[in-house]
Structure 1
């Protein structure tokens, strides 16, 4: 059973998400919170596997809440919820440590699948939303310059990250051990100046790598 916490200052949004999530037999909504501070407290108290975090909230906003959750000893996976009013909010959330992001308009069946993907340890980046981020960010050339210094094998691993694959899946596709892939990912984060694999996945998209599915 995947335990989910919903954090959004609009109670109607929370109710809508709860209805969708509880329709799946393998998902459980363990609680709701209506601002970032309460979201952090609820995360500590309820220990969810996945947190759906709205970004734009009064008081403690989603980005600061994500940063605080990331400092916990065993943080859950956090997915940023956005309506895409401001793209920089999403970029800020990824830099703060979010696993990925979802549009609030995501169809219910897709939402359920993406929560499962996040709980399994994968990066969740909506292709349509990522394309818009890349277009607005104007970082394509910078990203291509960064990946230009990578070896062929490092590029293959980075493509896997851009495709949202786990280390195990990348290892299987490249016929490597999972430990070897983990080492490649660690080196990539240093070379690309990324704080986490989600940022590396976004950079891969900006450079035109992945997804291949």
Structure 2
């Protein structure tokens, strides 16, 4: 949890944490990432892929894909009076902040989309609100100037990421769409493994 708090609150990537039995991994390959979550769901149930709201999603009956070049799964479907994560067919969908908030999973596979990246020059997490596709969340209050609005959007994206990253009770698998962020996460994970050996 401290590692996640540093990422979200301080916008920095701390050294890979000791996990004390919690299965925390970054996965480089989107196909392997999906397989890992699907395998956990077969064994334990309640394991799902969830992601930042960085891809088009409308409630117009059409299917919209998350990360078409990688994850390539549709956003969550909705069925009245049924919890998304408890429906077996949703293993082949990506849940959003709206379908997973307040609901714990055994394993969470989190797709960190293009709105969140890593800047190697500053060693900071950077947020790009222009890549965030949640139109409802982008409604601007009349009393906000441009800077206040931009800061509020960035904070909202980080808050959403915080919720997603804290859904897994037994494990958390990460797949970052942006190569710089993915490479940095993989390097941190590799450095921790090399010190364990």
TM-score range, shorter chain: 0.3 to 0.5
User: Which is richer in strand?
Assistant: 2
**If the length of structure 2 is used for normalisation, what is the TM-score?**
0.34
Higher relative contact order (CA 8 A, sep 6+): 2
